[in-house]
């Protein structure tokens, strides 16, 4: 029997705090039961000798091991300095009130645990419990920063603070997808997702510790090159030209992607990953907007053609820089509003979070593409033939669009109109489960992290998808509609990892692809199951 893990073990000098044994993860049904003994491929000791990897079976950040005791102590000191700043208005006005409320009022009732897909799917590994990392931070805070904390710690929960504690806490903050399902079920209103977000911030903003995919290759590259994909403005325009040609093949007429049109009604912001991985999504938007006769534009300015804002997941300063850049581009283009394409975190970042950051003429109105698409589809301006979408369709709800923004029905009203075999997942809407790629996981793939994501954090979504299609024949093609780039990437990886295209004929894509597929008068279908697109 496994040893019962206690909170205080986070400071213990072991090589691995939590190891998942084969068969411990939640079981998958036939024909995926051969994966039930799978666990992440063990990390190679020779590769890990200089990297902190003592939390579990994977590594998200890859923090270099300190050279000696002195350096460890300096890092502990730095951590405490950052922790103090989290509770100062000068440093953390952005989240101070929510953080204080969540730190002070948890009743440790564990209602959050059952809501967490990572905890549940991991076979209920203690370290993945939503309260585990919050309680570690809470105890450190009370013991080391509150007056008399070292005396009262025996009553309020003791914990040792050493480099192991800190290194593990940093890694642990990247085992939660920030889906905030835990927060939505807390009867008191405590938000463990928020505490996790604040832990990430502390490490980034004070200690410069963050996964390279979201910092160096993420926000830094975004501000420097223009996109987290590394795509420059010239490359973005080249991609668009290629997309126009491809869409012309589908529509039978010329499709235009307008660039830098001053005074246009709409500035459309796409996740630039779409241009590279799913150009048909960018093209489908262009087809729909053009057919509906909208006045719209894209921006070719650096950062203006990439809606992402990875700062949302780990760093308020980086977040602010990207949000200001987006708003400033819209302001200078003199557009009436920004419309955010199928990218969930970009929705929340620019519409909700940046709302209390952008002032004056930077506060350009921002709207979800779901809303404008619903308007177009329901207006009767365009003619649809739903029979073209006569295959089973289910909808994945991106957490940032539903739970964080309350945009739930527009995408459903569209699907009910154009996809006759649409069915919901259970649960759905604001009670949805994360795809498992939230908060940066979708783009993090160092060491064996992608495998951990497929096996653990995305497992619940995979089960949900299988359940939604359980009454369909194996050889019927099935479409998972995921109107978010990161969710789509995660589902793509899931399908590939579990060979679900071969075993269940499972396919995925966005919402606009379905809309265009049902559009009357198209020369070719947009969705062609099993056919490799020309750009691959």
Partner 1 sequence: MGFYILSYCCIAISLAAAARLIYKQLTLPMHVRWEIYPVQHEKAQRAAYGGSYMEETDWWKTPYHTSFVNEFKYMASEILLLSGLRKENKRLWRVSFPFHLGLYFMLVSVILLFIDVVVTLWGPSAFAEGRVLRTMMGGLIVASGWFGLVAGLIGSLGLLYRRLADRDMQLYTTPADYFNVVFILVFFLCAFLTAAFVDPLFDAAKSYLLGLLTAGTYTSAYDPGQNIFGAVTIILASLLTAYIPLTHMSHMFMKYFLYHKVKWDDAPSRPGSAIESAVLQNLKYRPTWKAKHIGADGEKSWRDIASSFPKEMK
* 240 vs 302 by CB, closer to partner 1: 302
296 touches 289 (CB < 8 A): yes
**Minimum CB separation from partner 1 for residue 319, in Å?**
9
| Contacts of partner 1 in 223-262 (CB under 8 A) | 223-224
**Minimum CB separation from partner 1 for residue 333, in Å?**
18
Task: Map residue 218 onto helix, strand or coil.
Answer: helix
Burial per residue of 283-302, b for 16 or more beta-carbon CB atoms within 10 angstroms, e otherwise: bbbbbbbbbbebebbbbbbb
By CB under 8 A, name the one of 309, 318, 439, 517 that touches partner 1. Answer: 318
Write down the residue that tokens 């645990």 correspond to: 113
By CB under 8 A, name the one of 27, 365, 427, 533 that touches partner 1. Answer: 365
The angle formed by the CA atoms of residues 179, 182 and 187, to the nearest 5 degrees, is 145
Write down the residue that tokens 């534009």 correspond to: 297
> Alpha-carbon distance 12 to 524, whole Å?
61
123 touches 25 (CB < 8 A): yes
| Contacts of partner 1 in 205-224 (CB under 8 A) | 205-208, 215-216, 219-220, 223-224
**Minimum CB separation from partner 1 for residue 235, in Å?**
19
494 touches 462 (CB < 8 A): yes
**Minimum CB separation from partner 1 for residue 448, in Å?**
27
List beta partners, residue 267: 297, 338
- Report cis status (omega within 30 of 0) of the bond before 469: no
* 126 vs 260 by CB, closer to partner 1: 126
**Minimum CB separation from partner 1 for residue 383, in Å?**
21
Does residue number 410 form part of the binding site for partner 1 (CB under 8 A)? yes
| Contacts of partner 1 in 278-317 (CB under 8 A) | 317
* 358 vs 456 by CB, closer to partner 1: 358
297 touches 268 (CB < 8 A): yes
* 38 vs 219 by CB, closer to partner 1: 219
Stretch that binds partner 1, among 28-36, 199-207, 253-261, 519-527 (CB under 8 A): 199-207
The helix (H) or strand (E) run that includes residue 102 is helix 96-104
At 111, give phi and psi (nearest 5°): -60, -30
Binding mask of the shown chain, residues 153 to 192, with x at each position contacting partner 1 by CB under 8 A: -xxxx----------------------x--xxx-xxxxx-
The angle formed by the CA atoms of residues 177, 178 and 184, to the nearest 5 degrees, is 125
* 192 vs 517 by CB, closer to partner 1: 192
Strand order in the sheet with 266-269: 296-297, 266-269, 337-340, 366-368
Task: Map residue 235 onto helix, strand or coil.
Answer: helix
| Contacts of partner 1 in 80-139 (CB under 8 A) | 81-82, 85, 89-91, 93-98, 100-102, 104-111, 113-115, 126, 131, 135
**Minimum CB separation from partner 1 for residue 289, in Å?**
14
Does residue number 455 form part of the binding site for partner 1 (CB under 8 A)? no
* 251 vs 400 by CB, closer to partner 1: 400
Does residue number 63 form part of the binding site for partner 1 (CB under 8 A)? no
At 498, give phi and psi (nearest 5°): -95, 10
Total residues interacting with partner 1, rule: CB under 8 A: 94
| Contacts of partner 1 in 4-23 (CB under 8 A) | 4, 6-7
* 273 vs 410 by CB, closer to partner 1: 410
Stretch that binds partner 1, among 13-21, 58-66, 405-413, 523-531 (CB under 8 A): 405-413
200 touches 171 (CB < 8 A): no
| Contacts of partner 1 in 370-399 (CB under 8 A) | 370-372, 375
Sign of torsion, CA 465 467 470 474?
A: positive
> Alpha-carbon distance 38 to 462, whole Å?
15
* 222 vs 453 by CB, closer to partner 1: 222
Binding mask of the shown chain, residues 327 to 356, with x at each position contacting partner 1 by CB under 8 A: ----------x-------------xxxxxx
CB count, 10 Å around CB of 524?
10
């Amino acid at each position: 029997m496994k040893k019962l893990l206690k909170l205080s073990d986070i400071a213990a000098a072991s090589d691995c705090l939590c190891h998942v044994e084969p068969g411990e993860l939640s079981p998958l049904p036939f024909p995926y039961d051969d994966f039930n003994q799978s666990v992440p491929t063990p990390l190679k000791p020779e590769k890990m000798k200089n990297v902190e990897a003592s939390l579990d079976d994977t590594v998200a950040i890859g923090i270099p091991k300190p050279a000696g005791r002195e350096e460890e102590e300096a890092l502990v000191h730095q951590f405490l300095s950052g922790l103090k700043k989290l509770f100062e208005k000068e440093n953390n006005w952005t989240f101070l009130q929510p953080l204080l409320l969540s730190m002070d009022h948890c009743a440790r009732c564990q209602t959050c645990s059952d809501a967490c897909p990572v905890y549940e799917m991991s076979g209920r590994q203690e370290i993945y419990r939503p309260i585990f990392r919050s309680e570690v931070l809470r105890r450190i805070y009370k013991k080391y920063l509150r007056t008399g904390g070292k005396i009262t710690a025996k009553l309020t929960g003791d914990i040792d603070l050493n480099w192991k504690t800190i290194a593990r806490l940093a890694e642990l903050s990247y085992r939660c997808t920030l889906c905030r399902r835990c927060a939505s079920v807390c009867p008191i209103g405590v938000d463990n997702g928020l505490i996790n977000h604040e832990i990430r911030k502390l490490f980034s903003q004070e200690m410069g510790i963050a996964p390279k995919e979201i910092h160096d290759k993420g926000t830094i590259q975004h501000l420097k090159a223009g996109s987290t994909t590394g795509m420059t403005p010239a490359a973005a325009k080249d991609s668009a030209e290629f997309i126009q040609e491809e869409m012309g093949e589908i529509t039978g007429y010329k499709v235009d992607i307008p660039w830098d049109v001053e005074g246009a009604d709409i500035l459309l912001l796409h996740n630039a990953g779409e241009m590279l991985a799913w150009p048909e999504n960018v093209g489908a938007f262009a087809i729909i907007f053009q057919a509906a006769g909208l006045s719209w534009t894209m921006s070719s300015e650096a950062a203006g053609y990439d809606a992402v804002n990875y700062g949302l997941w780990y760093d308020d300063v980086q977040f602010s820089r990207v949000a200001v850049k987006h708003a400033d581009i819209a302001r200078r283009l003199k557009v009436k509003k920004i419309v955010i394409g199928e990218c969930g975190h970009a929705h929340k970042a620019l519409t909700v979070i940046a709302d209390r950051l952008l002032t004056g003429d930077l506060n350009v109105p921002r709207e979800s593409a779901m809303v404008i698409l619903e308007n177009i589809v329901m207006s009767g301006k365009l003619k649809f033939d739903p029979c073209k979408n006569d295959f089973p369709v289910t909808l994945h709800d991106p957490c940032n669009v539903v739970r964080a923004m309350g945009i739930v029905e527009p995408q459903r009203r569209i699907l009910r109109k154009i996809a006759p075999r649409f069915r919901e997942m259970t649960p759905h809407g604001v009670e949805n489960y994360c795809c498992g790629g939230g908060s940066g996981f979708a783009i993090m793939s160092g060491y064996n992290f992608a495998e951990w994501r497929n096996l653990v954090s995305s497992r619940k979504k995979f089960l949900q998808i299988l359940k939604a299609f359980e009454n369909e024949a194996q050889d019927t093609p099935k479409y998972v509609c995921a109107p978010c780039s990161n969710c789509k990437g995660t589902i793509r990886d899931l399908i590939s990892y579990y060979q679900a295209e071969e075993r269940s004929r499972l396919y995925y894509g966005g919402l606009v692809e379905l809309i265009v597929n049902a559009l009357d008068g198209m020369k070719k279908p947009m969705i062609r199951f099993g056919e490799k697109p020309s750009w691959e």
